């Protein structure tokens, strides 16, 4: 957003309307199935207004992705602010994603669609995961063939679980999945089954059921009801 747009309330409202419309449409359809015409119609703004804010559809997708990722990263950072053990950090991060799917099912569905191909170890959203897997390997806490194998394993399981929760954003389902999938992930990384189950159960209780570290408003456009 340019400095002029930040100072112009009308421009801010237009940009927020475009982002909200794009997010809603991308939660329902694949990115390639949504056109600029679809977006401006849903936002109830002129097509010229779109290009005042975004160079093309991909620029809008990037803006939406950045907004959603920032919200998820905030939730994960809050959940792990006082935690140093890589296994517990990992379980709490997975639970943060699933609690996000309960609280914000629309952007969660968007996140699934627009990040399904982001598996690079250098992707910004993966940096915390890369660091935790690396720490677990260095300490002997985790036992997997390579850092990349561990990262891809966690991404795959978490992605599928988030899809399920975003499709049916019910707290009871999210609690159950968080406990089961968290334990599965930690067992797969090499933790003893009893310890993996205990860590996953505690993280699911604290973060998913109680929502202690949930962040609800970060993805809302300005002026949207909370």
Q: What is the CATH number of the domain that holds 33?
A: 1.10.10.60
Predicted local confidence at residue 69, as pLDDT: 87
Tens of pLDDT along the chain (226 residues) come to: 555 555 678 888 999 999 999 999 999 988 889 999 999 999 999 999 999 999 999 999 989 988 898 888 899 999 999 999 999 999 999 999 999 999 999 999 998 888 655 777 887 778 899 999 999 999 999 999 999 999 999 999 999 999 999 999 999 999 999 999 999 999 999 999 999 999 999 999 999 998 866 644 344 443 343 3
Each residue of 132-141: pLDDT tens digit?
Answer: 999 999 999 9
What is the number of structural domains in the chain?
Answer: 2
Q: Which of 216, 180, 205 is nearest to 106 (CA)?
A: 216
Residues near 152 by Cβ (< 8 Å), separated by ≥ 6? 119
Each residue of 93-126: pLDDT tens digit?
Answer: 999 999 999 999 999 999 888 865 577 788 777 8
Clarify whether residues 133 and 199 are in a common domain: yes
Clarify whether residues 26 and 80 are in a common domain: no
Q: Which of 82, 80, 98, 95 is nearest to 203 (CA)?
A: 95
Q: Which of 184, 202, 201 is nearest to 193 (CA)?
A: 184
Measured N-to-C along each axis, helices 127-139 and 86-103 cross at an angle, to the nearest 10 degrees, of: 150
Predicted local confidence at residue 126, as pLDDT: 86
Clarify whether residues 80 and 20 are in a common domain: no
DSSP string for 77-143: HHHTTT---HHHHHHHHHHHHHHHHHH-HHHHHHHHHHHTT---TT-GGGHHHHHHHHHHHHHTS--
Predicted local confidence at residue 6, as pLDDT: 58
Tokens of 113: 């669609």
Q: Which of 108, 126, 209, 107 is nearest to 164 (CA)?
A: 108
Clarify whether residues 38 and 118 are in a common domain: no
Predicted local confidence at residue 222, as pLDDT: 37
Q: Which residue carries 């991909």 as its tokens?
A: 58
Clarify whether residues 146 and 171 are in a common domain: yes
Print the domain residue range for 180.
69-209
- Residue 219, in any domain of the structure: no
Q: Say whether pTM exceeds 0.85.
A: no
């Amino acid at each position: 957003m340019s400095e002029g747009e930040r100072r112009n309330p009308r421009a801010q409202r237009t940009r927020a309307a475009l982002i909200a419309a794009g997010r809603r449409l991308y939660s329902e359809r694949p990115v390639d199935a949504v056109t600029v015409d679809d977006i401006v119609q849903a936002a109830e703004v002129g097509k010229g207004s779109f290009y005042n804010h975004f160079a093309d559809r991909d620029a809008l997708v990037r803006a939406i992705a950045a907004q959603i990722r920032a919200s998820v990263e905030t939730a994960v950072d809050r959940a792990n602010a006082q935690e140093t053990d890589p296994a517990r950090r990992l379980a709490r991060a997975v639970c943060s994603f699933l609690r996000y799917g309960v609280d914000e099912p629309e952007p969660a569905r968007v996140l699934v669609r627009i990040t399904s191909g982001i598996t690079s170890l250098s992707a910004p959203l993966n940096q915390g995961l890369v660091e935790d897997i690396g720490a677990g390997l260095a300490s002997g806490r985790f036992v997997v063939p390579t850092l990349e194998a561990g990262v891809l394993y966690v991404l795959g399981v978490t992605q599928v679980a988030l899809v399920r929760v975003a499709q049916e954003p019910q707290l009871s389902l999210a609690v159950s999945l968080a406990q089961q999938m968290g334990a599965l992930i930690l067992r797969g990384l090499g933790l003893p089954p009893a310890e993996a189950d205990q860590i996953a159960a505690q993280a699911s209780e604290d973060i998913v059921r109680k929502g202690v570290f949930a962040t609800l408003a970060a993805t809302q456009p300005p002026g949207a009801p909370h």
